[in-house]
Structure 1
């Protein structure tokens, strides 16, 4: 169990711990109106993109009822704490202790939901909201950025309302570029804007697997007109990536076709917040501060 005291680092050996930050990290929350779009994969690739740029990054799975981030990443066999094992009776956790006890992926600590293990808590109950909030707070103390997979519509609303995700928050909503996808997205987008404001929400599209031909794809202009929001970009599924995940091998690397999109998400979320500087200037400044 994770306690409020620093424990040994048996979960991960040889991992350099980031120093405690004076200010909380920025938080980017990924959500979607429905499942099966590749939301967890997109959130994970974004975290990897940011980490490779030199910022300390952590991944948190707040899809409490249906999540399994470690399985998607292919690290389900790694030792370390999962969400069902988090215990914070006083509502506080040590960020350093927590990060040492978590499994890591590509150098990043990963706090994954494991709804199939809730019975291990003894009473069969889900982890409590204040314990989740304590874990998220602990992660933000130790990193430049915390990337959160909030799952589908209802789970995201719970995450924002119950887990204190309001400070330096950015929302990325992944929508299916289809008529049904737009109908689902409209309601979810309205809820997000009502809770957080339109300026904090970025919409990203995902074309259905069957939309391999340009002639059958929904275009960005139609999606924008329906949602009354611009679409940052629309992704096409990549077979090699899908096969790797289905086979349990995780994400070996970021497909080159997605790198421009990830840079756009960075620019329009965390890049906007660093003192209103252009993203490349903000990144350089942050890097210089860390290595003084």
Structure 2
């Protein structure tokens, strides 16, 4: 019997590197050189959340984590993002005042004794430093920060940020620098959340950040324009976001206590014509309107002139204080009683 028939067909042998080494007969081995075995070299890499092709998870990978170190085939999983002290401010459409609200809220909480930091994660619009009049201040911007492993030193980052009215600001200037990757934005937020009592994040419309599922579990403030069209857009967006974060339909009370709606009066209205009442809006959206912000012509004109963001008028200051009270409670800071609600 020949050597070619003495060895039946055998399945390929898996290699530690993930490749396959075929098992050939002795006759085959004489005619062709053996396949060279690949080795696993030490490497460092990061798997960003939501970017795994085909829905398959690589061996050792943990979707939604900040980074992972692989050395000689061993993986070390890092800690998941803790978003308990992160406050997201977003809106359905641009230009309704979400950035202004985020800045005023951060200043209000900072004045109450909470050490806050303000993050501009609106990758499409950005320019929060310009809005607040600190664009010429020295310091790091979001596009200048690299986090290839998804890890950043929060204290070192905080020292590099410009400060607006006592609040450190990590701004995004997409016209100056290339936008960061989504996991780099998340890494910055995570790092700052470890060194500050509260992180107020202006998310805009989540453009480019849809895969950051951890941040969808943060305290969330959604700014809604109080018009028929604005409310219709808000209802559709709320339903789609709820389906993403809660696919089985169990939107529990604990989640609702960390979600707030802020109604914003549209600019350019005359004597409130076209503005939907708070009660009607709450009934249509089937949820409470936490605060209602009216237009402030003087504040808007000063912002457009580049004079920065002054204190809001009396009516809006009261609405901001009420919102800040609720945020304090959601953050577990009930002992701080500088606001309008009793501790």
When normalised by structure 2's length, the TM-score is 0.67
Please point out which of 310, 318, 336 is paired with 1:283. 336
Q: Distance in 1 between matches of 2:188 and 2:331?
A: 23
Q: 1:206 aligns to what?
A: 264
Q: Are residue 64 (structure 1) and residue 123 (structure 2) matched?
A: yes
Structure 2 residue aligned with 1:137: 190
Structure 2 residue corresponding to 1:221, chosen from 267, 279, 285: 279
- In the other structure, the counterpart of 2:242 is 193
CA distance in structure 2 between the partners assigned to 1:214 and 1:90 by the alignment: 51
Show the counterpart of 1:52: 111
In 2 relative to 1, CA 87–216 (structure 1 residues): closer, same or farther, beyond 3 Å?
Answer: closer
| Structure 1: runs of 5+ lacking an equivalent | 1-22, 120-125, 285-292
Higher relative contact order (CA 8 A, sep 6+): 1
CA contact (8 A) 2:84 2:331 kept: no
Q: CA deviation at 1:265?
A: 1.4
Q: Secondary structure, in 3 states, of the residue corresponding to 1:99?
A: helix
Matched, 1:267 2:320: no
| Residues 209-238 of structure 1, C-alpha deviations (whole Å, 9 max, x = no match) | 233414653111211121111111221110
1:229-275 Cα offsets, whole Å, 9 max, x none, are: 1111221110110011101111122332222211221233331341x
2:292 is paired with a residue whose SS is strand
Once the two structures are superposed, the pairs formed by residues 149-188 of structure 1 within 5 Å of their partners are 149-152=202-205, 154-155=206-207, 159=209, 161-162=211-212, 164-165=214-215, 169-188=218-237
The answer to whether the aligner puts 1:113 opposite 2:180 as a matched pair is no
Higher helix share: 1
Q: How far apart are 1:35 and its partner, in Å?
A: 1.1
The match for 2:136 is 77
1:30 to 66, 89, 104: 89
Question: What are the ranges of 5 or more consecutive residues in structure 2 without an aligned counterpart?
Answer: 1-81, 338-343
Residue of structure 1 equivalent to 2:66 = none
After superposition, the C-alpha distances for 1:75-122 in whole angstroms (9 at most, x for unaligned) are 111111111101122221111110111111112111111111235xxx
Task: Tell me if structure 2 keeps the 8 A contact 1:95–1:139.
Answer: yes
The alignment status of 1:241 with 2:299, answered yes or no, reads yes
- The 5 Å alignment of 1:94-113 reads 94-113=153-172
Distance (whole Å) between structure 1 residues aligned to residue 210 and residue 86 of structure 2: 11
How high is the TM-score relative to the length of structure 1?
0.78
SS at match of 2:194: helix
Alpha-carbon distance change, 210 to 130 in structure 1, aligned in 2, over 3 angstroms: closer
Q: Relative to structure 2, which stretch is displaced further, 260-269 or 50-59?
A: 260-269
Q: Which moved more, 1:223-232 or 1:138-147?
A: 223-232
- 2: CA distance between counterparts of 1:100 and 1:273? 24
